[in-house]
Structure 1
Amino acid sequence: MKILLKSVKIIDNSSELNGQTKDILVENGKIQKISDNIETTAEQVISGKNLCVSAGWIDMRVSPKDPGYESKEDLNTLSLAAMAGGFTEIVTLPNTKPVVQTKEAIVYVKNFAQSQLINIYPTGAVTKNCEGKDFTEMLDLHQAGAVAFTDGDHTLWNADILLKTLQYLAPIDALLMNRPEEPSMTIFGQMHEGIESTLLGMKGIPSTAEELMLMRDLKLLEYYLGQNSTPKSNSCLHFSTISTKAGVELIREAKQKGLPVSCDISTHQLAFTDVDLRDFDTNLKVNPPFRSQEDIEALQAGLLDGTIDVLVSDHNPQDEESKNLEFDMADFGVIGLETAFAVSNTYSKLSVEQIITKLTTAPRKLLRLENVSIKEGNEANLSIFDPTIEWVYETKMIQSKSKNSPFIGKTLKGKAKAVINKGKIYINK
């Protein structure tokens, strides 16, 4: 199949053509030619004003729900949502039923992905059933194809487990991801702890719960490094979904010390504060919760100075039965794959080039994946998008099986137009 991209601006900081506007010819899954003007017949021609192309985007934090919770999302609808959002690769959390803690569970996901346009990289659970009590067979999971290790939605609350996991993963140079939250401080919590939670009469989730766990994990990392003389050239401990000003500062200080750490934030954290929960809209019930404007500004600053390495969607589908309830009974989570780029482009204060780096080069480096570059002869793994277009996100557009998005009806800037991978193309309508 021949695909021709006409007059697209290349955004790829690993390419000599970065910033240039070119025609790109893709044939049989490879970039055959890049030139100022390509005249040829092609089965698919993509053209338009303000089009950009980058290496395919990768989302480091996606809840697949399949197997076990297919009423919320299955792998087919997950793939559609990813492509509609401009992603060619996603990293899935292990919190399914059963938990991804066996080689068979890894193979289930990888086998599905073989026939899809998108690449799906499953993570393996650190502890059995993500309960934080007993280890899984992490080396076996790594050999089966687990791209990293995490208990996903659950914090590694056991300090000894986290320390030993760092030691176990060192020989295979695998990444450990942890969501920093002191669980004993968040029981029955519904939203950010502050003036708004008091006014609304809801149990709060304090910022301190995140910061305490960050301090603990960073101290354990220093202890581990003191026992291990091998220098780390890449992050070995990644913090997922940072949300507080103090949390950003703790990671900034750790990086200044030279600690091999990294972190991400959910794109939706940039768009809302706890004030927005006054209408008790359960689509705004997320964990970590929407916090203060001061926290948002700290996240924006952390993105700009490189403290925050990666942007993630934290795509977490929830069906009507889980969301159309009283606020304190509803489940946490929003869908985000289809809006992640647009939300970042609208709210982050980053340039388009900086956003693309945090969706491509940075996550691939952390996950020890081969970098994707736009170059003649390379496999075509591409995201095509318009960063200038303004559009309204509507329910009828949603490809995910669940519709739990706080962005429905909101105007966003920037939209994915198409993705190309494995010789296949998906065009966003």
Structure 2
Amino acid sequence: MDIVIRSARVVDRASPFNGQLVDLWVRNGLIASMLPTSADYQPEVGAVVVEGKNLHVSAGWVDARAAANDPGYEHRETLGDLARVAAAGGFTDVALLPNTQPVVDAKDTLGYLRRTADGFPNVRLHPVAAITKGAKGEDFTDMIDLHRAGAVAFSDGDHPLQHPDLLAKTLQYLRPFGGLLVNRPEDARLTRYGQMHEGVQSTQLGLKGLPALAEVMTVARDLRLLAYVLETDPAPHDAPPMLHFACLSAAESVALIRDAKAQGLPVSCDVAAHQLAYTDEALSGFDSNLKVNPPFRGAADVAALWAGLADGTIDAVVSDHHPHEEETKNVEFDVAEFGMLGAETVFALLQTHNQNRLPLPDLIDRLTTGPRRVLRLPPVTLAEGQSAALTIFDPTASWTYARTLSSAKNSPLLGQTLVGNVVGTVLGGIFSLRSL
């Protein structure tokens, strides 16, 4: 299938056409030509033509953190649902957390995910394998075998590593083959029974708090362990990250990682899009769809997260997409599950709440180049002869998030008007039109 994208502005710093208006032609899964927009150009008969006002095109976006509920929790969302949701959100690649049932801790479960993912040609799904069996934080999985079987990274996902010896040994184990350890920083001994950010708002609402200290202490600990592992064999200055922190939420965490990068430590981090949009004050109405972990923190933390994105401390923005059935969300706040839908609305949340804090090329970098480097995915750029992995979007269009393609409905954004619209994606020769 021939696909022609008419009069789109290229947002790709690695492309020779960056910033230009082009007519981009995809044939046989490759970018066949990129030409300056011309009113005289006529696509061939039978081609799919994508056109509209203020179109922009970039390399395909990468979501480095989304929950895979299949196998085991298909009643929340199947992999097919996730593929449709991700494509609607502009993503051509998604890294899947290992917290399925069974956990992705052996080659057979990882193989199931990879075989199933092959049935969704519009999105590439990349399994993350567990570090410990059952993601219980006890016995190691066979990470070398899982790496050879296609695991893109290693993490216990929604279960942060608590024991420092486990983390240090994992870094040592992964280093010979360049594996990546992903940890969401949280000291569970400080967050037990917590419901939201610990602060004035939690006190006023009568809810037990999740202190920022639980995240900050873990970031500091893990950075020191990384330095310890490297003491006898330092990493090259331009080495890809060995340790990745997922879903930062606290200002002090950003400062610690900024300093670590300045010292040359091979470390990276991401932030969930919703953390850039809300503070803990949003929970005054006890909307359980806003109950996430890490929790929304104060305005100073949100400002620090935006600053970290702007100066490159934070490498990627993720969806932290967590579907839940109504029975676990439409309940009292203190017994509701943590997590919200996110894959369909990442770009819109960023654009709606950006307030000129981050130029569009930098924002797109955190959805493309940043996560690709972290996950060791092949680089993608917009140039003739390159494989087509593209996201088409309008950064200024307003739209209403009227419905979701997920089986779950746990998004606080449903019914809201947002800024920044995804038009569709191209992966190989497959064009996916956003149908929300």
TM class by shorter chain equals: over 0.9
Letter in 2 for 1:153: D
SS in 2 for 1:125: coil
In structure 1, give the amino acid aligned to 2:19: G
Instruction: Choose from 315, 322, 330 the match for 2:328.
Output: 322
Greater CA drift, 106-115 or 287-296: 106-115
What is residue 80 of structure 1 aligned with on the other side? 84
Write the mapping of 1:22-41 to structure 2, written as runs, cut at 5 A.
22-36=22-36, 37=38, 38-41=41-44
Q: Which amino acid aligns with 2:43?
A: T
Whether contact under 8 Å (2:4, 2:49) holds in the other structure is: yes
The amino acid of 1:239's aligned partner reads: F
The one-letter amino acid of 1:17's match is F
Q: Verify: 1:65 aligned to 2:79, yes or no.
A: no
Indicate conservation of the 8 Å contact 2:235/2:266, yes or no.
no
2:200 to 195, 198, 214: 195
Q: Does 1:382 align with 2:390?
A: yes
Q: Give SS of 1:77's match.
A: helix
Q: Deviations over 1:40-89 (max 9, x none)?
A: 22431000110001111010000011111111110010011001101111
Aligned to 2:123: 118
Q: Is 1:96 paired with 2:108?
A: no
Question: How far did residue 27 of structure 1 move?
Answer: 1.2
- Which letter maps to 1:62? A
Shift of 1:115: 2.7
Amino acid at match of 1:28: N
C-alpha distance in 1 between matches for 2:2 and 2:362:
30
For residues 174 and 344 of structure 1, the distance between their equivalents in structure 2, rounded to whole angstroms, comes to 30
Equivalent residue for 2:368? 360
* Partner Cα distance (2:137, 2:236) in 1: 28
1:163–1:24 distance in 2 versus 1, CA, 3 Å: same
Q: Which amino acid aligns with 1:263?
A: C
Shift of residue 325 of structure 1? 0.5
1:409 aligns to 2:415 (yes or no): yes
RMSD between superposed Cα atoms in Å: 1.0
What SS does the corresponding residue of 1:303 show, helix, strand or coil? Answer: helix
1:288 to partner: Cα distance: 0.2
Distance 1:54 1:156 in 2: 35
SS at match of 2:72: coil
Contact 2:324 2:339 in 1 (8 A): yes
Partner of 2:13: 13
**Pair 1:225 & 2:230 matched:** yes
Residue 180, structure 1, aligned to residue 199, structure 2: no
In the alignment of these two chains, the number of paired residues is 427
Extract structure 1 runs of 4+ deviating beyond 6 A. none
Amino acid of the structure 2 residue aligned with 1:353: P
Indicate yes or no: 2:433 matched with 1:424: no
Unaligned 5+ segments in structure 2 are none
Secondary structure of 2:231 counterpart: helix
| Partner Cα distance (1:346, 1:225) in 2 | 41
Task: Please list every run of 5 or more consecutive structure 1 residues that lacks an aligned counterpart in the other structure.
Answer: none
Q: Which moved more, 1:380-389 or 1:106-115?
A: 106-115
After superposing the two structures, state which structure 1 stretch, 416-425 or 230-239, moved more. 230-239
Report the residue type matching 2:397 in the other structure: I
Partner residue of 2:286? Answer: 280
Alpha-carbon distance in structure 2 between the residues aligned to 1:105 and 1:118: 19
- Determine if the alignment matches structure 1 residue 300 to structure 2 residue 297: no
Following superposition, the deviation at residue 230 of structure 1 comes to 4.3
Could you give the per-residue CA deviations for residues 273-326 of structure 1, whole angstroms, max 9, x where no partner exists? Answer: 111111110001000001111111111111111111100000000110110000
Q: Distance in 1 between matches of 2:114 and 2:427?
A: 16
Q: Tell whether 2:143 aligns with 1:135.
A: no
Counterpart CA distance in 2 for 1:315 and 1:48 is 29
> Which stretch shows the higher mean deviation, 336-345 or 111-120?
111-120
Question: 1:119-141, CA deviations, whole angstroms, 9 ceiling, x for partnerless residues?
Answer: 00000100111111110000000
How far, CA to CA, are the matches of 1:225 and 1:54 in structure 2? 36
Q: Distance in 2 between matches of 1:230 and 1:154?
A: 27
How far did 1:379 drift? 1.1
**Identical columns (%):** 49
